[in-house]
Amino acid sequence: MQERKQGIVIVSNRLPVTLEVAESGALHARPSAGGLVSALQSLPKRDNAWIGWTGSSIEPSAEARAALGAASLSSGFRMCPVFLSKEEISKFYLGFANEIVWPLFHDLQSRCNFDPSYWRAYQEVNAGFATQVLKMANTGDLVWIHDYQLMLVATHLRNAGMRNRLAYFHHIPFPSPDIFEKLPWGKQLLQGLLHHEVIGFQTDRDLQNFLSCYRKLLRGEVTAKGRLVELRCGGLHSVASAFPIGIDADAFETVAGGGAAGKRLAEIRETLGDCALILGVDRLDYTKGIIERLRAFEIFLEQHPGSHRKVTLVQVIVPSRSDVPKYQELKGEVERLVASINGRFTDLGWTPVQFMYRGLPHAELLAYYRAADVALVTPLKDGMNLVAKEFCACQLDRKGVLVLSKFAGAAQQLKAGALLVNPNDWQSVADSIAQALAMDAREKERRMKVLQRSVHKNNVSQWLDHISATVEMYSRTRAPEPRGELAAAVGF
Ligand code: GDG
């Protein structure tokens, strides 16, 4: 195995590629889209490694490793796969992660299935990830663990004696204690987080909820230090803070203004004619508020007959977790509701809701962002929501309006320019659609400028800089290991 110099070891549930069998029968690694992948593309291409699951139940083989090796060359990360068996996928990923933590942390406890066999699988798979980290990490590497699937990896690393700096970033919301306490294994998860020197959340809301759970369940000490919070508990010492994730706003702006997006934009505009475009873009998930949004749009159509033939809702849904029965049911529910709204309001040459159940190529997605008169980003709850930020970055003509759920983490930064709504209040969402469509051009431009300033200022490099500066500062005050490697690795 080739030696790596000091750098960053990223650990996330999924690798930035999915291993799959191509039509030819050969294995290949297909790049996967998503917020984390695009965020970490901004890390300088040094000696960084990425540990994660391959995204399939394909077993380890020389061919699988060769396919991942080829992907390592093109991505700039050395891909270190974790292979999961069908049972591990079912109990750890579909079970503990998606039937317990995901719904609970989005305040949807009635959707949880607290099966104890899921917990056993979660502990075992987290131990498996830790084994891979122990194999890959050099002394002095920063090990940066991502998200709710891997809250116990640090426990296993520390038990095995690892002394590297460990950082954790939590991408989804953190719930309040009355919800978190429903989890039979909550204490172990909190203790697991405390093994990291730096623990990051998306927003103050999540940080405060985490601190309330920590005080209530672990009774540890908390000391505020500017925007950081120091935690001391049972001999462990960490800092926690909110580091809202951003996008590479310049890159989005450039692609949105480029030839491929421009060509598609012209086609979209020609097809729509005088119809205003209302846009929804989401992964298929019940937290994204898709049903509630469609209900709100139906109310809008009912109450504004003058808008008929003059407005079209394009809803893009990227397939996600399609093996899980609850997600299949949601897809059926969306299809039935779209059909019912269209059945009620469609007129010759006008279909009010156009529904695409597939991921769009990047440039085409950006053309839709650019073309949209209104973006409806109305999750019931969301850690951040990058779609809201991407829409703003791509609004080169500043003619669009962002209607944003106040329960999305992004609302904290975007509230000054967006129309904020409660997604459960369908009438208020319908009213905001009407307000957005009626807004005069100067007001739209003023609001969009405010939004664009925010997404450019709080961009992904700033997110990486804040986290790396915190790790650096914190390791300087306490760790005896050699320092300076992280700053060098991220070009800080
Ligand atoms: C988790 C948290 C947090 C969507 N449709 C297409 C497409 N996308 C890309 C978007 C965006 C990403 O997927 C979705 O990001 P979100 O932030 O909206 O949502 P989650 O997947 O739930 O992510 C979330 C995030 O982590 C980051 O910390 O914001 O709160 O839940 O980047 O552009 N990409 C392409 N075609 C599509 O049709 N190419």
Q: Which of 38, 33, 491 is nearest to 246 (CA)?
A: 38
Residue nearest to atom 1 of ligand 1 (CA): 171
- Is residue 492 pLDDT above 70, yes or no? no
Question: Which of 384, 394, 405 has most ligand 1 atoms within 8 Å of CB, for mutation?
Answer: 384
Mean pLDDT within 42-71: 86
Contact in structure between 90 and 49 (CB atoms under 8 Å) = no
Question: Quick count: other Cβ atoms within 10 Å of Cβ 127?
Answer: 16
Cα-to-centroid distance, 48 and ligand 1 (Å) = 23
Q: Which of 420, 367, 419 is nearest to 397 (CA)?
A: 367
Mean pLDDT within 446-461: 97
Question: Which of 385, 413, 464 has most ligand 1 atoms within 8 Å of CB, for mutation?
Answer: 385
3-state secondary structure of 47: coil
For residue 382, indicate whether it is catalytic: yes
Cα-to-centroid distance, 392 and ligand 1 (Å) = 14
How many percent of the chain have pLDDT more than 70? 94
Contact in structure between 205 and 173 (CB atoms under 8 Å) = yes
Tokens of 95: 């079970």
Atom of ligand 1 nearest to the CA of 35: 32
Question: Quick count: other Cβ atoms within 10 Å of Cβ 95?
Answer: 22
CA distance linking residue 205 with residue 181, whole number of Å:
17
- Is residue 489 pLDDT above 60, yes or no? no
Residues contacting 345, CB < 8 A, separation 6+: 301, 308, 352
Catalytic residue among 171, 196, 456, 466: 171
- Is residue 5 pLDDT above 70, yes or no? no
- Is residue 6 pLDDT above 90, yes or no? no
Question: Which of 105, 247, 282, 387 has most ligand 1 atoms within 8 Å of CB, for mutation?
Answer: 387
User: Residue 163 — very low, low, confident or very high, per pLDDT cuts 50/70/90?
Assistant: very high
Q: Which fold has domain 8-245+460-487?
A: Rossmann fold (3.40.50)
Cα-to-centroid distance, 284 and ligand 1 (Å) = 11
Cα-to-centroid distance, 283 and ligand 1 (Å) = 7
Roughly how many angstroms between the first and final C-alpha of the chain, as a whole number?
29
Question: Which of 317, 377, 380, 386 has most ligand 1 atoms within 8 Å of CB, for mutation?
Answer: 386
pLDDT, mean over the chain: 92
Domains 8-245+460-487 and 249-457 agree in fold: yes
Q: What is the DSSP letter of 351?
A: -
Atom of ligand 1 nearest to the CA of 390: 33
Q: Which of 55, 49, 59 is nearest to 6 (CA)?
A: 49
- Is residue 478 pLDDT above 80, yes or no? no
- Using CA atoms, how far residue 196 sits from 18, 231, 376, in Å, is 28, 11, 37
For residue 141, indicate whether it is catalytic: no
Contact in structure between 215 and 207 (CB atoms under 8 Å) = no
Cα-to-centroid distance, 362 and ligand 1 (Å) = 12
At 102-150, the pLDDT tens digits run 999 999 999 999 999 999 999 999 999 999 999 999 998 999 999 999 9
CATH code given to domain 249-457: 3.40.50.2000
Residue nearest to atom 28 of ligand 1 (CA): 171
Give pLDDT, residue 487: 32
Mean pLDDT within 70-98: 90
CA distance linking residue 234 with residue 219, whole number of Å:
10
At 350-394, the pLDDT tens digits run 999 999 999 999 999 999 999 999 999 999 999 999 999 999 999
Contact in structure between 204 and 412 (CB atoms under 8 Å) = yes
Contact in structure between 246 and 459 (CB atoms under 8 Å) = yes
- Using CA atoms, how far residue 61 sits from 24, 67, 178, 310, in Å, is 18, 10, 46, 56
Contact in structure between 298 and 341 (CB atoms under 8 Å) = yes
CA distance linking residue 160 with residue 169, whole number of Å:
22
Domain parsing of the chain, residue ranges: 8-245+460-487, 249-457
CA distance linking residue 159 with residue 275, whole number of Å:
61
At 261-303, the pLDDT tens digits run 999 999 999 999 999 999 999 999 999 999 999 999 999 999 9
Give pLDDT, residue 30: 87
At 53-66, the pLDDT tens digits run 999 999 999 999 99
Give pLDDT, residue 24: 87
Tokens of 148: 């709710």
Tokens of 209: 């909820």
Cα-to-centroid distance, 246 and ligand 1 (Å) = 12
3-state secondary structure of 466: helix
CA distance linking residue 385 with residue 98, whole number of Å:
18
CA distance linking residue 56 with residue 83, whole number of Å:
8
Atom of ligand 1 nearest to the CA of 245: 28
Residues contacting 55, CB < 8 A, separation 6+: 14, 15, 17, 18, 19, 20, 32
At 309-333, the pLDDT tens digits run 999 999 999 988 777 888 889 999 9
Give pLDDT, residue 485: 38
Task: Give per-residue burial for 188-220: e unless 16+ CB within 10 Å, then b.
Answer: ebbbbbbbbbbbbbbbebbbebbbbbbeebbeb
Cα-to-centroid distance, 54 and ligand 1 (Å) = 19
| H or E element in which residue 117 lies | helix 116-136
3-state secondary structure of 370: helix
Residue nearest to atom 32 of ligand 1 (CA): 35
**CA-based radius of gyration for the chain:** 23
Cα-to-centroid distance, 408 and ligand 1 (Å) = 13
| H or E element in which residue 472 lies | helix 460-478
Query: DSSP string spanning 196-264?
Result: SSEEEESSHHHHHHHHHHHHHHH--EEEEETTEEEEEETTEEEEEEE------HHHHHHHHTSHHHHHH
Tokens of 360: 């769009």
- Is residue 480 pLDDT above 60, yes or no? no
Catalytic residue among 206, 248, 382, 456: 382
Listed range (233-237, 306-310, 486-490) with the worst mean pLDDT: 486-490
Atom of ligand 1 nearest to the CA of 38: 32
Pocket lined around ligand 1, Cβ cut-off 6 Å? 33-36, 38, 171-172, 245, 281, 283, 316, 318, 359-360, 362, 365, 382-387, 390
Flag whether the pTM goes above 0.85. yes
- Is residue 437 pLDDT above 80, yes or no? yes
Give pLDDT, residue 3: 52
Residue nearest to atom 10 of ligand 1 (CA): 387
Residue nearest to atom 9 of ligand 1 (CA): 34
Q: Angle, to 10 degrees, between the axis of helix 441-457 and the axis of helix 249-256? A: 130
At residue 330's C-alpha, the angle toward residues 346 and 351, to 5°, is: 10
Residue nearest to atom 6 of ligand 1 (CA): 359
